[in-house]
Structure 1
Amino acid sequence: MFNRMFALTLLFAFSSVISAENYSIGTGGQSGVYYPFGGALAKVWSEQVPDVNVKAEVTAASVENTIKVVRGDMIAGIAMGNVVLDAYKGEGKFKGKLPVKTLFALYPNLVHALTLDKSGITSLADLKGKRISLGAPASGTAVTSAALLESIGIDVKKDIDAVYLNYSETTNALANGQIDAGFIVGGQGVGAVTQIALTHKVNILPISAKESDAFIEAFPAYSSYTIPADTYNHVAAVPTLSVWNVLVVNAKMSDEMAYNLTKSAFENIEQVRKVVKAAEMTTPANANRLEGVPLHAGAQKYLDSL
Structure 2
Amino acid sequence: MIHRILALALLLMLPTALHAENYSIGTGGQSGIYYPLGGALAKVWSEHIDDVNVKAEVTAASVENTIKVVRGDMIAGIAMGNVVLDAYKGEGKFKSAMPVNTLFALYPNLVHAISLKKSGITSLNQLKGKRISLGAPASGTAVTSAALLESMGLDIKKDIDAVYLNYSETTNALANGQIDAGFIVGGQGVGAVTQVALTHDINLIPITDEQSAAFMAQYPAYSSYTIPENVYNKVAAVPTLSVWNVLVVSATMSDEMAFNLTKAAFENMAEVRKVVKVAEATTPENAFHLKGVPLHPGAQQYFDSMAKGASAK
What TM-score results when the alignment is normalised by the length of structure 2?
Answer: 0.95
**Residue 275 of structure 2 aligns to a residue in which SS?**
coil
Q: For this pair of structures, how many residues does the alignment match?
A: 304
3-state SS in 1 of match to 2:14: helix
Correspondence for 1:223: 223
Structure 1 residue 123 corresponds to structure 2 residue 123 = yes
Aligned partner of 2:89 in structure 1 is: 89
Equivalent-residue separation in structure 2 for 1:106 and 1:225 (angstroms): 16
Paired residue type of 1:19: H
Shift in CA distance, 115/297, structure 1 to aligned 2, threshold 3 Å = same
CA–CA separation in structure 1 for the residues paired with 2:157 and 2:167: 21
What do the CA deviations read for 1:114-133 (whole angstroms, capped 9, x no partner)?
00000011110100000000
**1:159-198 CA-partner distances (Å, limit 9, x unpaired):** 0000000000000000000000000000000000000000
* Post-superposition offset of 1:103: 0.2
TM-aligned CA deviation for residue 17 of structure 1: 2.1
Question: CA shift at 1:12, angstroms?
Answer: 3.0
Deviates more, 1:127-136 or 1:10-19: 10-19
Give, in angstroms, the shift of residue 15 of structure 1: 5.7
Pair 1:242–1:19, CA change in 2 (3 A): same
For 1:274, what is the secondary structure of its paired residue? helix
Q: Which residue is equivalent to 2:196?
A: 196
> Paired residue for 2:242?
242
Question: What corresponds to 1:274 in structure 2?
Answer: 274
Q: Partners in 1 of 2:221 and 2:242 — Cα distance?
A: 9
Give the direction of change, closer, same or farther, for the CA distance of 1:269–1:4 in structure 2 (3 Å limit). Answer: farther
* Whole-angstrom CA distance in 2 between matches of 1:5 and 1:224: 68
CA distance in 1, matches of 2:105, 2:78: 9
| 1:305 partner SS | helix
What residue identity is the alignment partner of 1:257? M
Give the RMSD, CA atoms, in angstroms.
1.4
Aligned amino acid, residue 246 of structure 1? V
C-alpha spacing 1:10/1:93, structure 2 compared with 1 (3 Å): same
Provide closer, same or farther for how the CA distance between residues 101 and 9 of structure 1 changes in structure 2, counting only shifts above 3 A.
Answer: farther
Q: Residues of 1 paired with 2:246 and 2:6: CA distance?
A: 45
2:246 partner amino acid: V
1:305 maps to a residue whose letter is S
CA-CA distance at 1:30 after TM superposition? 0.1
Q: 1:107 to 1:9 in 2, by over 3 A?
A: farther
Residue type matched to 1:157 in 2?
K
Matched, 1:290 2:272: no
Counterpart residue type for residue 145 of structure 1: S
Question: 1:19 deviation in Å?
Answer: 1.4
Deviation beyond 4 Å, 4+ runs, structure 1 = 3-10
| Residues 269, 13 of structure 1: alpha-carbon distance in 2 compared, 3 angstrom cutoff | farther
- C-alpha distance 21-198 of structure 1, shift in aligned 2 (>3 A): same
**In the alignment, which residue of structure 1 is the partner of 2:35?**
35
The correspondence of residues 61-80 of structure 1 with structure 2, limited to 5 A, is: 61-80=61-80
Structure-1 residue corresponding to 2:52: 52
Name the structure 1 match of 2:134. Answer: 134
Letter in 2 for 1:184: I
Gaps of 5+ in 1: none
Distance 1:10 1:232, change over 3 A: farther
Tell me by how many angstroms 1:14 deviates. Answer: 2.5
In the other structure, the counterpart of 1:233 is 233
> 3-state DSSP class of the match of 1:105?
strand
1:237-282, Cα deviation, whole Å (9 max, x unpaired): 0000000000000000000000000000000000000000000000
Call closer, same or farther: CA 1:6–1:292 in 2, change over 3 Å: farther
The offset of 1:53, in angstroms, is: 0.3
